[in-house]
Amino acid sequence: MATITRSNPASLGSYFQAYLSKQLVDRIKETLKLNDYAQQVDLPKNIGSSSVKFFQYDTVPASSNVQTLTEGTPITTFREVGLNSVSVSLTQYGEAVKISDVLSMTSLFDVLKESVSAMGEEAALLADDLSRNQLVTGTDVGGNATTKRYGQGIADFATLNSTAAASAYLDAEDLMDAVTSLKANKANPLNGQFTALVPPQISRDLFRDTDFLNTVYRNPETKVGSFPAGTLGSFYGVRISEHTNPFIEGTTAGTYNSAGSIFSTVVLGANAFGVVKIAGDSPFSPKIILNNQADKADPLNQTTVCGWKAFYAAKLLNAKRAVVIKSKSRFA
């Protein structure tokens, strides 16, 4: 006589079912830092405009403007001060989900709660994308783009693209050169330091750089752990902050390609870029709109619609206050 098992006789198999755990596995989440360093501006409501104009003085201090005076002779040549300006038009963004009543009544998990959480993260990711793209590919109020540097002192994008990662990664000297460029441009630090935003693939290479490690771990601030979460240390006046949403390029410069191998590290001074939002309406903390009542379009209230919207823009303000270092990574 055969032994009775879960599969014998075959009819017993239909009585076994998977156990569904109510403990959800956390989904992947981005680490976003860029807009922490933006100049943030509110556009007041009901002022008859959907754009903001940024201004920048076009004057550069020079000792040659100072004149030698003659006793008793009035000065006749006067200093002029001008302005550059750029208008930034806001764009409306948003998304929504529609959930059926049957799903809401029968689902093992809270689909609405998860949808709201996911949309909130996507709103923040959009805001980060817009600022990131402005810093890498945008122009400022004077029509200037940010300075581009390349790992290992490589001259240009084409050469970087054709160079193996082992000879095209970012090292301590690249960071020093970027900061030197900012200082030479007379950019001001932000909260006492410049900030380098690096993706994990690039910070991995930095932590294999002896010059970087020796400097960072001799810094008293590093030893006492005074840096906020996600900050890797301070290197020659540059705070190194890690994020997971870098601008990535393939073989075409200036075109985002998530499958590419060229990563941008952005080194920032104060007021390099700005973000504009309608007062009280921000993708950083979007207002959730919930429609769960019957109406003419859904007379039996068979669906719940939930979403968010925001009126928003990002703009590079002064290209001399940011440097973009493009490099490859030895991470494989």
Detail the DSSP E strand segments found in the chain.
Answer: 39-43, 51-57, 83-89, 91-100, 147-150, 194-198, 231-235, 238-242, 248-249, 262-268, 273-278, 288-291, 303-316, 322-327
The alpha carbon of residue 157 and the mean position of all alpha carbons in its chain are separated, in whole angstroms, by: 22
Residue 100, number of CB atoms within 10 A of its CB: 13
Q: Domain spans of the chain?
A: 35-58+83-93+110-283+308-332
User: Distance between CA atoms of 164 and 162, rounded to whole angstroms?
Assistant: 7
Per residue in 84-130, pLDDT (tens digit) is: 887 888 899 999 999 999 999 988 788 998 998 898 899 999 999 99
In DSSP terms, which residues pair with 194 in a beta bridge? 238
Residue 153: the pLDDT is 95
Residue 227: the pLDDT is 58
User: Distance between CA atoms of 178 and 183, rounded to whole angstroms?
Assistant: 9
- Counting residues of the chain whose pLDDT is more than 90, the rounded percentage is 55
- Name residues whose C-beta falls within 8 Å of residue 107's C-beta, 6 or more positions apart in sequence: none
253 within 8 A of 309, measured Cβ to Cβ = no
- Name residues whose C-beta falls within 8 Å of residue 60's C-beta, 6 or more positions apart in sequence: none
146 within 8 A of 323, measured Cβ to Cβ = yes
3-state secondary structure of 35: helix
Kindly give the parts of the chain with pLDDT less than 50.
224
Whole-model pTM: value is 0.85
User: Distance between CA atoms of 116 and 122, rounded to whole angstroms?
Assistant: 10
146 within 8 A of 187, measured Cβ to Cβ = no
Residue 28: the pLDDT is 65
